[in-house]
Every structure is written in C-alpha cells, then in structure tokens.
Structure 1
Amino acid sequence: MFTRTSGGRRAALVLVAASTAGLALVASPASAAAPTWESLTVPTTNARVSLLPFDSQNAYARTTDQCTEECTYSPRLWQRTGTTWKQVTMPTDVQANVLAGTGPTDLWVFGSKNAYRFNHYDGTTWTPNLNPEPKNAEVLGARAAGRNSVWAVGNYRGTGTNWYPMVTHWNGSNWNTTKLTGIQGQLESVDVNSETDIWAAGYRRTSGHFQGLVMHYDGTRWTEVPVPAVSGEDTMLGEVISTGPNDVWVASGSAVSHWDGTAWTRRDTPAAVSSFAYYGGRLYAGLSGASKLVRWSGATWEAVGTPVKGQAVDQLSTTPDGTLYASSSEGGVLSEFHAYLSRLAPPTTD
C-alpha cells in the first residue's frame, strides 16, 4: 500500500506562474459517465483536512484550523472508524505535519516542535523520538510501501543557513538517511512504485533562484533526472506521481511536466495543482480554481463532469481497492471557511 498525506512547510516564495495562454480545457467525452461523489463527514468544523485513507472504514486525518485573526498553528490528529471520527491525543512533542502508514495500527507522524520528530502510533500507543538526527533531518513528504518500508523526503540542515535534499528510509528497525550534500535545496514529495523504482521532487537553490529537482532511486543509488529550466521562472516542484520509470508527472503550481523515460514535456493545467492521484487507470489532478478536478485524456486535460463541493480540491488520494478520496474547501480569511470530504467508489466502466 502506497499512501501519503503531507502538510509540511513550503518555502515562502511567490512563484512566477507558467503562461497558460492557448491552453484548452476540454469537456469529458459524453460516453464517459459522470462520477457520483459520496459526501463524508469531516472531523471538525472550520479546519482544513488532509486525509490518509486505508479502506472504506478506516482513515487518519490531520486538521489545521482556519483563523480570521492571528492564531497558533497547531494541527490535530483524528482517526476514522466506520462513520465516526475521534481525536487522537498526541504526545506533547508531536506536531502532525506529515502522515504516512499502512493501516489503523501502523501510522507515522512527522513534524517539528523544537526538534524534527519521527513518531509511530500503533492505534493505542505512541513510540516517540525515532528520528536519529532530530536537530537536522526534517520530513516534508512520506509514503509507506509496507510496515517495514517507509520512504520520507525533506531536507537536512547543515551548517549556517545551508540545507540539503534528504531521503530517509525505515527498514522495520531503523531510519537510514541519505543526504544529497552536493545540492542546496530540499525534496517535498515522494512516490513509490517498488523498492527499485522511487521518485522524489523538490527544488535546488542556485544563486538566489529556485530550479525544479527530480531524483530517481533504482534500488542502489539516487540519480538526478534534470528538469529543464524556464527562463524568468523560479520553480519548486511540490507534487510527483509515477506508474513506472517511463511515466512520471511533476507540478509546480500550474506548470506540469511529464517524463516519458527520455524527455520532459510540458502539460500545464488551467490552475495550480494541489495533488495528483490515479483513478480507474487514469491520472487526475486536483486544482485550486474553478475547474477543481481534471484528468489527463492522453492528449490534454479534460474537466470532470461532476466536481466535488467547494472552490478548490486540496488533496486527492486513492486506496488499494481503487476508491478515490478528495478533500476540498471554500472560503477563507474574508468569508466563512468550509471543508469537505468526498469519495468515488472504484469504477466499473469508464
């Protein structure tokens, strides 16, 4: 099971968005039946929700309160059993920034509170302080390939203001960290196809500018797959998804690129991508805009006929049985905030 939810720190930058002039968003073909979304209850009100679902009955979620005035950033952790949510009490040194796991009794929680903590929860008991380098190794994204194989990415703090992209792996007994010390920057997202096919994306810093960074692991070593720079643009890749070494998608805002094993091709979306997921064998992208949800037709992005509630899709995730979950929201500082959770049952036809 490869599941993930992330809400780690993102560098505070205003990115120069890629131009989408001439980008056509086509409607879904009439022969493709519009999916019907099932609405789910949210753990709490007035809070943004990130979901880590396992099946139709079990999930964890982190919520972050949306404030109209100054408030303290303090994510809360919730467990869903059936249709019921209950808040999970966390140790005082835990801050739930990133979640990963394989089921209700196997949850990893990554977050910084005075130090970078890796904590495990078995559904009853917390095992804290498993990060061997809590002063240096920060996780921003993670995926669980199994109880004894969890891959996490982020940054490793060096001397002064220097930090480097980092990958760390749980082998069932220990976390083993790889520091890419030849690069200034960090990794923000990871996708795992197998133990010999792992992709990570983020950015490098060069002379005050930011360039997309993609790394691939073949079971032996990490190798950079260079992403072409775009003149006049700073690029930070926040999302990566892959079905194999010849099919990789990355996104920085609305600037989306596809790797076919030989070259990168731009496939920009009409609004910033918040999340990717596969559903029914096809790639979906959640957007922060009027379209909200689009899917790749093989040639262009097409609008999905029945979008979820809200103004933006904040997160997409797919469970092993093929169910697609969406977390969406509307409102904000100047209006009442609402969060929604929805799901699509595995498709029978497409």
Structure 2
Amino acid sequence: MPDPVSRGAAGRATYLAALGVAAVLVTGCTGPPPVAPSGPDDVWALGSPHEGAGRLLLLHFDGRRWRERPAPEVRWSSEDDERFPALVATGPRDAWVFAATTAVTAYHWDGERWSDARLPDLRLDPGERADATALAPDDVWLVAGDHASHWDGRAWTVMRLPAWAASVSAAAPDQVWAVGGTGRPAAQGCSASQAATMRWDGRSWRLVPAPEDRTPSQEINSEGRPDGSIPSIRLTGVVAHGPGNVRAVGTRSVFDYEDGSRSTTITLHWDGTAWTRVAGSAYAGASGSDGADGIILVDWDAGAEGGLRGTIRVAPGGGRTELAPMAGADRGREVDVSALGAVPGTRTVYAAGLAYGRNSGPLIARYR
C-alpha cells in the first residue's frame, strides 16, 4: 500500500525526477532509477523546476525524515526533460550526479560537499541520453550515447558501445546491462531503430540479440496507400536482478497519419538464455524495480485523478497486479510520477514526481 512521504514546500513547483536508493544487498541491484548497496536508511531524490530553468533540488531520507541537502551547481531547463541528471548513491558519503547537456559533467558527494569529478570528454548529440548505476564506491558505470565509462575508484575508463544506450543497470561486476536502440536517436520524434541490449561480462561489451518487430504499417498515407514503414523501437529502462532475470522497458512507435506517430510501452525479459517479449501496459511514464524480482510500471495517466491509479506490478512469471491507489491526503490530487526506486530484497518502492493543486510541490510516495 503506498503512503505519502513528502510533498515539499507549499507553492514550490519542483519536479522530482530521479531517485537513488541505497539498501543492504550483497551483490547490489541497480536500474532506473538507481539502486545501490549501503543501508535501508539512505534514499536520495533529485528535482528541478517543473517549468522554465533553475537549480537542482536534492532531498535525502535518513530513515526518519526527509531533509534538503546542498545540490551540485547545476542549472537545468524543463525543456530538456529527457536529459535530466542521473543520480546514483552507494551510501550517505558516496553519491554521484551526472548532468548531461552537449557533454556530460560529473559531481561527487563525499558526505560533506559536492566536488567536480574529472570525467573524460563524453559528447552527446541531440536525442542521446545519459544514465548511471553503482555497485560500490569503486564500481560505477555511466552510459552516454554510444559510449560507456567505468569508475574504479581512481580513474574513469571509456569504452565504445555496440549501439546507443539510454539506461544501464548492474547485478554484479560481470553482469552489467545497457539498453537503448540500434539507430542513432533523433532530436525530435523517433528514428528508425530496433531494440538494443548490451552486456558487460567483465571483459568487454557485447550486443545481445533482442526481439525485432518489422511489421509494416497499414496506416494510409497522404498518397492513399499503406504507409509500409516499420515500427521504431527504443528501450529506455533496464533492471538487472541477476544472471537469469533482467527486465527492459521501452517504447514502440508506429506511423500515425494524424499525429505523426503513436507509441506504446513494451517490456522484455531475459531468462539467462534469450530475451522474450512479455505483456506490457498502456503508455508507461515511469518504470523500475519492485524491490524483489519484478518491475513496476506507472501508467502515463496514472495520477490524472490522484492516487497513482494504474500502477502495475509485473511479477517474475509475467503476471500483472494493479497496486492499490495512494491513500491519505494526496488521494484526490493530480500527481505526475517520473521516477521509481526500490529497496532491494524488500517490497519498499519509492515514487517521485510532482503533486498538482493550489500548493503544487515535489511528491515522494512509498509503496510497501
């Protein structure tokens, strides 16, 4: 059952768009939003103005209450929401923020202050994204476009990826997964692409075959004939639970004569041998680990009537269960969820975003 944790200061229209949850786990379990091993009383949430440009807002939960913490000196515009800074944490004295504009910059938290971290020059073209995950203070991964970079506690090592990545997750040092698309992302709309999944096995990054969809569109084009274009598929999130259980979420976009394109959510499951497509949902606005071996999908319109209705848990076997609406003060308020973060090994999941109304402000809810 979800319960409201924090809505922030009244009138402060801040959108919480990233979570970093640290919890006890030997091997770690990371994904979008990031999860890292440390303790159950270490949760970070990052946000920025819902409209316009401004500085970041950083909140931290110590097991008892949420407090605002100093944030890196980063200004962010809501017009570039797909490039919101990535946040990972392995404990209260080790957190990273990676800000992506035309290049990626890194900031490290040592428990007292943020400092600029030396990062190799990672350029981003329009449409490309960056994401990060961390297993330990000396085992951090960053993906940006078609490059991956690894922090070993002393220096960053940059590697070329076999496709374009949008998300990264790690279950162990030799079980790191990145997902995205086979085609270069476009600045506006979609580009020709199929789903791309890549794995780091401890030695190199390799492309792992994923299901393709080349069904020609039957939509009638301006010439009165079937359009014939194939779907564009791009994965946007991945959660690695273990060697035989990895989940990936993305979008399937097809030609639509009136709107240009129409998108639906797809979900894939890796069983240790191959990827298979499983039942998805309507267009999901956020996804992440359920804290066990499955994933949670938040429907794009789940918060339109308040209470996060339409939040689905996809179990390891593919079964789907709708979670109960958010109870309490926010039940009648419209909310918008942009990030999920789970405490591994438990059913505790945090959802972050924005609560609308007379006193709009940041929203953090907790499912357990």
Give yes or no for the alignment of 1:83 onto 2:65: yes
Distance 1:60 1:311, change over 3 A: closer
Q: 2:72 touches 2:107 (CA, 8 Å); kept in 1?
A: no
Which residue in the other structure is 1:194 paired with? 172
Deviation at 1:209, TM superposition (A): 0.9
Q: Is 2:323 aligned against 1:304? A: yes
Q: 1:215-241, CA deviations, whole angstroms, 9 ceiling, x for partnerless residues?
A: 011111211112222122111110111
Measured against aligned partners, the alpha-carbon deviations of 1:89-117 in whole angstroms (never above 9, x if no partner) come to 42468997111121121011111467421
Letter in 2 for 1:42: R
Q: 2:279 aligns with which of 264, 268, 271?
A: 268
8 Å CA contact 2:287, 2:340 repeated in 1: yes
- Give the aligned CA root-mean-square deviation in angstroms: 3.1
Give the aligned partner of residue 117 of structure 1.
105
Change (3 A) 1:92 1:261: closer
Amino acid paired to 1:287:
D
CA distance in 2, matches of 1:218, 1:133: 25
Q: What are the within-5 Å matches in structure 2 for residues 64-103 of structure 1? A: 64-67=48-51, 71-72=52-53, 74-81=55-62, 82-91=64-73, 97-103=85-91
Matches within 5 A, 1:27-38: 36-38=1-3
Deviation at residue 169 of structure 1 after TM alignment: 0.8
1:60 has 2:53 as partner:
no
- TM-score under structure 1 length normalisation: 0.73
The whole-number CA distance in structure 1 between the counterparts of 2:41 and 2:269 is 34
Q: Distance in 1 between matches of 2:184 and 2:101?
A: 29
Find the counterpart in structure 1 of residue 96 from structure 2: 108
Q: Structure 1: which 5+ residue stretches go unaligned? A: 1-35, 156-164, 346-350
- Scaled by the length of structure 2, the TM-score of the pair is 0.70
Q: Using a 3 Å threshold, how does the CA distance of structure 1 residues 94 and 294 change in structure 2: closer, same or farther?
A: closer
Residue 135 of structure 1, CA deviation: 4.9
Gaps of 5+ in 2: 23-38, 78-83, 186-190, 215-229, 252-264, 303-308
Whole-angstrom distance in 2 between the partners of 1:63 and 1:177 = 28
Q: How does 1:1-350 map to 2 (within 5 A)?
A: 36-44=1-9, 45-49=12-16, 50-54=18-22, 57-67=41-51, 71-72=52-53, 74-81=55-62, 82-91=64-73, 97-112=85-100, 115-133=103-121, 135=123, 140-155=130-145, 165-180=146-161, 183=163, 186-205=164-183, 208-231=191-214, 232-253=230-251, 254-273=265-284, 274-290=286-302, 291-297=309-315, 298-307=317-326, 310-320=334-344, 322=346, 323-329=348-354, 331=356, 339-345=362-368
Identity %: 23
Letter in 2 for 1:204: T
> How far does residue 260 in structure 1 lie from its aligned partner after superposition?
2.2
- Does the CA-based 8 Å contact 1:66-1:337 persist in structure 2? no
